[in-house]
Structure 1
Amino acid sequence: MTEIGVPTTPAGYWPDVESVPRAPLRGAAAHALLRFIAGRVPVRVVTVDEPQPPGPPVLRLRRPDAFYRRIGATGLIGLGEAYQAGDWDADDLAGLLTAGAAAMSGSLGRYRGLARIRHVPWLQWAHGARQPADEENTVEGARRNIQRHYDLSNDMFALFLDETMTYSSGLFAGPEDDDLAGAQRRKIDRLLDLTGVGDGTRVLEIGTGWGELSIRAARRGATVHTITISAEQQALAQQRVVDAGVADRVTIELRDYRHLEDTQGYDAIVSVEMIEAVGRKYWPDYFGAIGRLLAPGGRAGIQAITLPDERLPYADTYTWVQKYIFPGGVMLSVEEVERQLAAGTGLRLAEKRAFGWSYAKTLRQWRANFMANSDRVRALGFDEIFLRTWEYYLAYCEAGFVSGEIDVYQLILDRP
């Protein structure tokens, strides 16, 4: 199986990280804006290496001029690129990003007024431009977008995921539970329970991952048809299915959900954190496929990362995560799911269960594993910018769940 690594020769691979924008006036404006915000958010900005006394999280500037010019030129994308480049560090990266996200979302009480800053027209640059046209999730575009993330290297993902190779939120039993593999199995089992998967069930899985859900469904006696558009995931999932002894019950196909046809219908359809890669334009296609393929009396279970509905109008803005981690990715709200279902699918939202706190804990463990294995990540051919990119990404997502900016749900669909 071919492994795809980021080149260790950095020339040209990270163009917007390796070069600092020429934006002195915007840099000066960003400096003034940061001083304004820092006085109203529980964050300290320092330019020295000395240990800081206990208190709010510390943003430690290494190259202040480059830091301010990046933010001035591209806002929140520039903030991430400044971290990738090493222009700043933090003693508690997730805590720092959480404080900023909570203040901007209005969940920090006396800082609530800052939440309005995201809607000021002349500050819309802070949320990025529109997504590039070549990242639209057409059939070919979706395949390219998925390859840029999921086909990086199965070995790299194995260095921070648990033994189940599950790359979505676990469901922990409680605050003291630290068993990540157990949390992943609990999440899968609950979704299978809620969709009625058992002996003789015909199951469709949209988004294979590395095969754990298919394996657990097959062990219940179900027959599973699972689809993916990641060749790397398909190859490893197939091997894991064989090793688990359930290859006779699981079919793994390299296929887009839009190309599925089944006249008989599936008793259960499951899709775990795949809707984020669909794109707003194709939400009707996705939910329409589920409505078309679900047999009478069947149930569908979707695990989705969600936004508050009032933030949905801003979901299409181009963010750092879309630029460097999930090209073409767009989140939706629970209310939008209901609107999509009502638009002719014949389905309804029968049940919803949120567990964002578990995702924060999942991400915390992933980041700890990733950083503990940083030398092994380097040995796979990934460079220092890649390491800082993924450290920032995992901390950034954790901050989103801790602050309440985003959540994760298991949504159960059926026919009235």
Structure 2
Amino acid sequence: MYKTLLSTLASADKSVWRLALGETLVWAALYYVFPALLLHWEQDQGWSRSQLSLALTVALVLSALSAPLTGRLIDRGYGRLTLTLSAIVGGLSLASLALVHSFTAFFAIWVLIGISMAGCLYEPCFAYLTHCRPMSAKRAITVVTLAAGFASTLAFPLANALADAYGWRTTVVAFGVIVVFVAAPLLWFGANSPRGFRRTHCAPQDKRNIKVIQRPVFWLLALAFTSTALTHGMLMSHLLPLLDERGVPQAMAILTASLIGPMQVVGRVVMLVFDRRVSVFFFAGLSFVFLALASSALFVAGTLIGGLVCFAILQGSGYGVTSITKPTVTVNILGRANFGAISGALAVPYMMAYAFAPTLSAEIWKHGGYDLVVTTCIVLPTLGLSAFVAAVRTKPN
């Protein structure tokens, strides 16, 4: 086990490690900062949870709609520029939140952050790696996700500690500065083609009109992966308020949220260890089962630390492997040609699910409480598993 892990980590060159660290920071600052500071904004500004959730929803909708464009840019060889400039715009926008005093301004800035996320989170990074490292993309993606799995572990305790000590405005400035002056340079130097690698390798392999989205297997995959995004987004965007409503002490709630990141890494490590003996399709299917079991554990956990830890283990490991299985399964089923555009097209419903997850969770909470939210998160991955099995069965030979 350790030999396999060490072999993979050692095989990654400096460029991959720079991408891995850069992705960790942009995920922590541009995505996880929202659920980490949700209660602070609600309490300090007096904005409702539904209003705040709407801001994240619109940001993620715009991120989803921008994904095909960033995919095409990467297909044409502009991956490095796309990743770096998107991170800079996102970091500057995040820091500017410190200046807002109205919800309108808050909302407008999250629109900019949403557009920037389309160009610097996992989808564009993995599309770049798939194009520019065709023989080692899976290993490179694994290294990136192993590191970036700690993004939530970094964001939740650090954001809350800074907000408690200095206020949320100082916190967003600090996170924004980290993105602009640390994450963006890491992405720039990380997206540097390996030695002996020619830029033309990043050109699209097939310039014909993409017909993939007309095939049923595309929509089955979209439905399957979208269910995981919706499940994870609904829970993560409301996890601290959910646990607070159940009477879970704040320290224990933050610990639970912080454990999900390391458990994502554990899931990826286990997948890496059994990579050559177990099909990626098996791990993909198992992830749906784990997500359903995680929500089941959360439903019965109450304030018991054992139940909450069980939830974090299953949720983290179950969702963690999807960052590897999603691009790998997509390549295996739909092919490598025009992968940036195909990945971007798949990202639209996926990111739309993330986008509407906070608002959907808030609306379900208003009508049926968080118990109904958790029940919904049991049903969704079950439906997703059915769609995934159907997609594998219709896979071309």
Q: Same-fold call, TM > 0.5?
A: no
Larger RCO (CA within 8 A; separation ≥ 6): 2
Higher-helix-fraction structure: 2
Taking structure 1 as the reference length, the TM-score comes to 0.25
TM-score, reference length from structure 2? 0.26
Which protein has the larger Cα radius of gyration, Structure 1 or Structure 2?
A: 1
